[in-house]
Amino acid sequence: MAIRQPVVSVLGHVDHGKTKLLDAIRGTSVQAREAGAITQHIGATEVPIDHIYKVCGPLIGKKKFDVPGLLFIDTPGHHSFITLRARGGSLADIAVLVIDIREGIMPQTIESIKILRQYKTPFIIALNKVDTIQGWIPEKDEPFVLNERKQQDHTIAAFNDRLYSIMGDLSTHGISADRYDRIDDFTRTVALVPISAKEGIGVPDLLLMLIGLAQRFLEGQLKKAEGPGRGTILEIKEEKGLGKTLDMILYSGVLKQGDTVALGTRGAPVITKVKAILKPKPLDEIMESLTSAGIEAHYSYDAGMFICNEVMWCALEYARTERPGMPAGF
């Protein structure tokens, strides 16, 4: 059975480099165009497996993966991530928690950890801005394990000081973590991947970890279902020539043009039809391309609300979210 791309949420404290990391993966500069360099909306980016093979070449060799790629979500902060998780089902299959290696754990880092634990989302940690360590010699887009060999002893010592300090702080929050290349059992230890989003250092290591862990531990839940389509709304906006549209992620089943769908709103669910389904190019951000699903809409929606073409499921989902004590799926 074919498997889908895992949905990867990127979260962390403000200015620790979440969007910059996705820029490095895409080879674009979305962040430079955002107001105040802080993410204002939720964006999604598809990274196909061929791109991952290209970026990770020195690390992968001839190894092949069944996972067809990765779908990244860049969140504007922990509140929106809560909304996506609580109202959209288990949207994220795996997450990347970005930590500035200089600043360490900050308030939104702690909030992010709480969210990840609450929803039992597996995650790895990207230790960003290693290039800011005094004396660090960057090499554009190089794997960290190769770039590290070019550093002088005093630079490595300074890096290790920050690494072990953050590992100690994580342990106070009940997280056993270590450098990804030193871990024997990934079910017990959280992987730390040192990176520089600015220089692209460590991005190959990070992509390899994500695709490898997804292949090993998530393959069962990534199998494509042929049933009714279920998804989560990311963004609502006006699109020239299409009118009001919804950006969405389909995480289960099949959704087709002409389908009757039910949409979660601030009130009761709304029934409408899919006028068109438009998919952005790989490595594009959904927010910057044509909307992913052109659906006529005249109601008030919030990011994280559900969409599906199985009306009974939507009624149950509405009841569940309106009555938080109700078990999922009932």
CATH number at residue 244: 2.40.30.10
Q: Is the pLDDT of residue 79 over 70?
A: no
**What's the pLDDT tens digit per position in 224-270?**
777 788 887 777 777 777 777 877 788 778 888 888 888 877 777 78
Choice among 95-99, 233-237, 321-325 with the minimum mean pLDDT: 321-325
pLDDT band of residue 147 (cuts 50, 70, 90) is very high
Q: Is the pLDDT of residue 59 over 80?
A: yes
CA pair distance 235, 305, nearest whole angstrom = 10
State the angle between helix axes of 18-26 and 203-217 in degrees (0 to 180), rounded to the nearest 10.
Answer: 90
Boundary-marking domain end, from 222, 254, 285:
222
The better pLDDT of the pair 162, 114 is held by 162
Give the per-residue pLDDT at 164. Answer: 98
172 and 302 assigned to the same domain: no
150 and 261 assigned to the same domain: no
Which pair of tokens denotes residue 211? 């695709």
Q: Is the pLDDT of residue 34 over 70?
A: no
Would 328 be classed as within a structural domain?
no
Q: Judge whether 327 and 262 are in contact, CB under 8 Å.
A: no
Which pair of tokens denotes residue 15? 């200015």
pLDDT band of residue 111 (cuts 50, 70, 90) is confident
**Distances, alpha carbon 157 to alpha carbons 98, 134, 181, 191, 216, in Å:** 22, 10, 18, 20, 33
CATH number at residue 176: 3.40.50.300
**Alpha helix locations (H) across 12-137?**
18-26, 49-55, 57-60, 78-87, 107-118
Which of the given ranges, 18-32, 220-234, 296-310, has the highest pLDDT on average?
220-234
198 and 237 assigned to the same domain: no
Domain, as residue range, for 270: 230-322
Would 1 be classed as within a structural domain?
no
Q: Is the pLDDT of residue 8 over 70?
A: yes
Instruction: Please give the average per-residue pLDDT across 136-147, as a whole number.
Output: 96
17 and 150 assigned to the same domain: yes
Boundary-marking domain end, from 194, 222, 250:
222
Task: Say what the pTM is.
Answer: 0.79
Would 327 be classed as within a structural domain?
no
The better pLDDT of the pair 33, 169 is held by 169
Count of structural domains within the chain:
2
pLDDT band of residue 319 (cuts 50, 70, 90) is low
Average pLDDT, the chain: 78
197 and 241 assigned to the same domain: no
Give the per-residue pLDDT at 71. Answer: 87
What is the chain's alpha carbon radius of gyration, rounded to the nearest angstrom? 20
210 and 77 assigned to the same domain: yes
Boundary-marking domain end, from 199, 222, 245:
222
pLDDT band of residue 82 (cuts 50, 70, 90) is low
Would 89 be classed as within a structural domain?
yes
Q: Is the pLDDT of residue 159 over 80?
A: yes
